[in-house]
Amino acid sequence: MKRLILALLLAAAPALAVTPDEVLDDPALEARAREISKELRCLVCRNENIDESNAELASDLRVLVRERLVEGDTDEQVVDYVVGRYGEYVLLKPTTTGANLILWITGPALLLIAGWVGFGYVRGRRKAPDASATGLNAEEEARLKDLLEE
């Protein structure tokens, strides 16, 4: 009995991500399907794309993507179709519309600001500063010198 239960558990173990019966015969179409799959999120998984996921829903989505491709949809049309059905939550690469602009612009904008501040700082450091900047007294300066020259 116990063996039977274990055997059932094994049988219930999830399938591989992409299973052989899902693969399309046309390699070009299949390659496109794989690329699209990598950008679509498995809705019931945690941060997995449907290409890698073992979940049943991911498998359904993979089949759906392939069906659309076989029917002649372009890549964008397939993605739009899936987004239309499941919402933008399926997109692992967020769109650049609306508030998402903040997300996309953060990097370049911060880099510009940081670059500008950094440039200003470096330019300021070309001039000699005033003395006694460390706030150390003479004794501490001597000890510091002692330590660093070791």
- Kindly state the tokens that stand for 79: 């993605």
**At 115, which amino acid appears?**
G
Do the Cβ atoms of 17 and 51 come closer than 8 Å? yes
| Contact status: 38 vs other proteins (CB under 8 A) | yes
CB of 1 to other proteins, least distance (A): 13
Among 1, 76, 127, 139, binds other proteins (CB under 8 A): 127
CB of 76 to other proteins, least distance (A): 15
| Distances, alpha carbon 57 to alpha carbons 15, 123, 149, in Å | 12, 57, 66
Do the Cβ atoms of 29 and 69 come closer than 8 Å? yes
Do the Cβ atoms of 79 and 68 come closer than 8 Å? no
Smaller CB separation from other proteins, 3 or 71: 3
CB of 71 to other proteins, least distance (A): 23
Footprint of other proteins (CB under 8 A): 5-7, 9-10, 13-20, 23, 38-39, 41, 46-49, 52, 54, 87-94, 98-100, 102-104, 106-107, 110-111, 114-115, 118, 121-123, 125-130, 133-136, 140, 144, 147-150
